[in-house]
């Protein structure tokens, strides 16, 4: 076994805190004396470097942002709630037309076709039918068909059927 002093004991001897036996061993052992001189030399270099160099600049350490995940979660929840409310309000405010039967669609298309391609101006299909076949209905009965909430989709009813206008020689409605 080696009888040399450990590094901790050499450090205590260098600082002047070692026992008399440790001081005596360092003076009698050339290996421990050499290690003590190397330790003193290293401490002198460290002291000189610390005395001549400036202190390192302190860095600001960012604190952990514990509120960030909560803020992101709350924002996502708010966006989801806003979208849900907007969709619900949009659906409530959007008018959904009632479904129409094929007969109603063909009646509307014939009205539009008559209005677009008429040479004499807009003449409703009901007015054309009245010219061809006389009916026994009175004026009040004919008007009652066009009074309800479905007057626009009722065959024979339309803007021209509700307001009679005279047409000029070019086919324009005169007021």
pLDDT at 114: 82
With residue 166 as reference, give the H or E element that holds it: strand 166-167
d(CA 98, CA 154): 13
Q: Collapsing DSSP states into helix, strand and coil, what is residue 138?
A: coil
* Residue scoring higher pLDDT (45 or 171): 45
Report the C-alpha gap between 113 and 108 in whole angstroms. Answer: 9
Which has more confidence, 164 or 117? 117
Tell me the whole-structure pTM to 2 decimals: 0.33
Quick check: 61 and 32 in contact, CB under 8 A?
Answer: no
Q: Where are the domains of the chain?
A: 7-52, 102-174
Q: What is the rounded average pLDDT of the residues 6-20?
A: 89
Q: Tell me the average pLDDT across 42-62.
A: 89
Rounded CA-CA distance 80/86 in Å is: 10
Cβ pair 36, 14 in contact under 8 A = yes
């Amino acid at each position: 076994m080696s009888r040399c002093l450990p590094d901790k004991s050499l450090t205590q001897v260098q600082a002047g805190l070692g026992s008399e036996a440790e001081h005596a061993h360092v003076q009698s052992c050339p290996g421990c004396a050499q290690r003590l001189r190397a330790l003193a030399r290293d401490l002198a270099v460290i002291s000189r470097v610390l005395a001549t160099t400036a202190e390192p600049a302190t860095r600001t350490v960012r604190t952990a942002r514990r509120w960030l995940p909560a803020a992101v979660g709350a924002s996502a929840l708010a966006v989801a709630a806003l979208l849900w409310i907007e969709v619900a309000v949009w659906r409530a405010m959007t008018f959904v037309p009632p479904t129409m039967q094929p007969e109603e669609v063909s009646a509307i298309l014939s009205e539009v076709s008559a209005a677009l391609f008429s040479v004499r101006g807009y003449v409703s299909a009901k007015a054309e039918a009245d010219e061809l076949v006389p009916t026994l209905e009175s004026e009040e009965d004919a008007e009652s068909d066009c009074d309800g909430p479905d007057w626009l989709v009722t065959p024979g009813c339309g803007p021209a059927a509700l307001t009679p206008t005279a047409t000029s020689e070019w086919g324009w409605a005169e007021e």
